[in-house]
Amino acid sequence: MKTELCELCNEKLQHANIYVLAELSEGKLKISGNEIGRACEDLFGDSDYEYFYSFDEENTEKLFNLLSENPEANILALLNKNFSGPDCCKKLREFCQDHSIKYSFFSY
């Protein structure tokens, strides 16, 4: 199975630059984000903030089944349609919480 990538956010805002990438590999979704700027320094004490969401196969499948009833739908296009822009990770977290979708989170 090949690895597929999709850019969810690549925005330069007044106080931060935000870059978020979704990766689907071996049936598992991984989302990595990087924020750089004054807003990060104010919140986290460092101008660079990196974070990662990892979904197992079961929760990846659950997420995509809830986003589309069509099994032929492009998974990454669904992610981009539903969770893109500067608030993409917030929207994803809220969706997962509302639908009991589990993931692991790591940041530094």
Q: Which residues pair with 31 in a beta bridge?
A: 22, 53
Residue at token pair 């807003």:
39
- Is 0.85 surpassed by the pTM of this model? yes
pLDDT, tens digit, for every residue of 33-64?
Answer: 999 987 777 777 777 889 999 999 999 999 99
CA distance 94 to 74: 22
Domain span holding position 68: 4-75
In total, how many domains does the chain have? 1
Q: Residue 21: pLDDT above 90?
A: yes
Phi then psi dihedrals of residue 34, to 5 deg: -140, 130
In a domain, 39, yes or no: yes
Q: What proportion of the chain, given as a percentage, has pLDDT over 90?
A: 69
In a domain, 105, yes or no: no
Mean pLDDT of 58-82: 89
In a domain, 102, yes or no: no
On whether the CB atoms of residues 28 and 60 are closer than 8 A, the answer is yes
In a domain, 71, yes or no: yes
Q: In what order do the strands lie in the sheet with 4-12?
A: 4-12, 17-25, 28-36, 48-54, 104-107
Q: What is the mean pLDDT of the chain?
A: 90
In a domain, 108, yes or no: no
The 3-state DSSP class for residue 90 equals helix
In a domain, 93, yes or no: no
